[in-house]
């Protein structure tokens, strides 16, 4: 049986196949190397970032605020002081956003209808905390976070 391709054609076909086969490892390495590159860092993944939503606190206090610390940045009336207060309340083994423990005896002092919700990441941990001023313990918990949370009782 005779070959369909003459000698020169066979050599050209063989050379082309060898050239194509030699590129396969290069593309495989490039694909593997590309998979090893981490994705770009999103702003939300760059460390301490909190979103604070304040409601029923009064004009000039209600709103949604963003706080980034280390370095301080964001949309908040006093980002640097908010970060300072957060740092002051951050201790190893203690959650600065922890609710008042169950069974705590609290004064029956009503501090108004203000509420706040804080979400995000602080000290590498997720945060989802709610605040109100429904009794003396909750008022104290809120006041410890001023100026991250707005100061109540007086002009805004």
Top pLDDT among 32 and 50 is at: 50
pTM over 0.85: no
DSSP H or E segment with residue 16: helix 7-36
pLDDT tens profile 8-39: 555 655 555 555 555 555 444 454 444 555 45
Q: Where are the domains of the chain?
A: 44-91+106-145
pLDDT reported for residue 47: 76
CATH 3.40.190.290 fits 44-91+106-145, yes or no: no
Query: Helix H segments across 44-156?
Result: 79-88, 136-144
pLDDT tens profile 79-98: 999 999 999 999 888 899 99
Beta bridge partners of 131: 116
């Amino acid at each position: 049986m005779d070959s369909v391709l003459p000698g020169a054609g066979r050599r050209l076909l063989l050379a082309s196949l060898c050239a194509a086969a030699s590129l396969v490892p290069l593309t495989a390495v490039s694909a593997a190397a590309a998979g090893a590159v981490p994705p770009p860092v999103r702003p939300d993944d760059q460390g301490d970032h909190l979103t604070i939503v304040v409601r029923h606190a009064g004009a000039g206090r209600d709103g949604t605020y963003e706080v980034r610390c280390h370095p301080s940045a964001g949309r908040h009336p006093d980002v640097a002081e908010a970060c300072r207060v957060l740092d002051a309340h951050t201790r190893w083994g203690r959650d600065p956003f922890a609710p008042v423990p169950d069974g705590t005896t609290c004064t029956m002092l009503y501090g108004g209808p203000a509420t706040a919700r804080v979400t995000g990441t602080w000290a590498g941990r997720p945060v989802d905390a709610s605040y109100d001023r429904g009794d003396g313990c909750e008022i104290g918990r809120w006041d410890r976070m001023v100026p991250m949370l707005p100061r109540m009782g007086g002009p805004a």
